[in-house]
Amino acid sequence: MANPAETPPSASQLRKMLLEQELEKSNLYQKQQEAKKKELADFTANFLRHHVTENEIATVRRLVMNAVRDGRLEAMVYSFPSEMCTDNGRAINSNDPDWPQTLQGKAKEFYERYQTFGKPQGYKLKAMIINFPGGIPGDVGFFLNWGQ
C-alpha cells in the first residue's frame, strides 16, 4: 500500500521513468533486429556457399509423401527469401518463363535436381512468391506437383 505521508514522484521523475522505459524498449528492438540480421546473414552464407544436403532431400520426399497421404497432388517443398534471387523475385512474381535463370545457391541446385530427377519422372515444379511483407515480394515457395 502507498504511504500517504510519502511525497509522490515529481513530474520530472515520471518523465524520466517513461524515457528510461522507452530506451529499454528501443534497445530490445535493436537487439532483435541485429539478431534477425545475423540469422539472415548466416542463412545467406549457407544458402549461397553450401550444397543441398541429404537431410534437405529427405525433407522434400517426406513433404511429398505427407501430401499424398493427405490426398493432395501438390506440396510446397522448399522456400527461401526472394532476395536470394538475382532480381529479388521479380521474374517469379511476374511468371517470366526465364525465372529459373534468376536462381542462385541451393535454390538453383534444387531446380537442377528437379530437372535431372523430377521432371523425367513426370513431376512439375512451379515457383511462387508466397508472401508480400510491406507490399514487396517476400519468400519464394517451390511447389512440386504430380497431378495430370
Tens place of pLDDT for every residue, the chain, 148 residues?
678 788 888 999 999 999 999 999 999 999 999 998 888 888 888 888 889 999 999 999 999 999 999 999 999 999 999 999 999 999 999 999 999 999 999 999 999 999 999 999 999 999 999 999 999 999 999 999 999 8
Amino acid 71: pLDDT: 97
Amino acid 37: pLDDT: 87
C-alpha cell at 94: 511476374
What is the SS3 assignment for the chain?
CCCCCCCCCCHHHHHHHHHHHHHHHHHHHHHHHHHHHHHHHHHHHHHHHCCCCHHHHHHHHHHHHHHHHCCCCEEEEEEEEHHHCCCCCHHHHCCCCCHHHHCCHHHHHHHHHHHHHHHHHCCEEEEEECCCHHHCCCEEEEEEECCC
Measured between its terminal Cα atoms, the distance across the chain in Å is 73
> How open is the CA angle 85-90-93, to the nearest 5 degrees?
110
Amino acid 75: pLDDT: 97
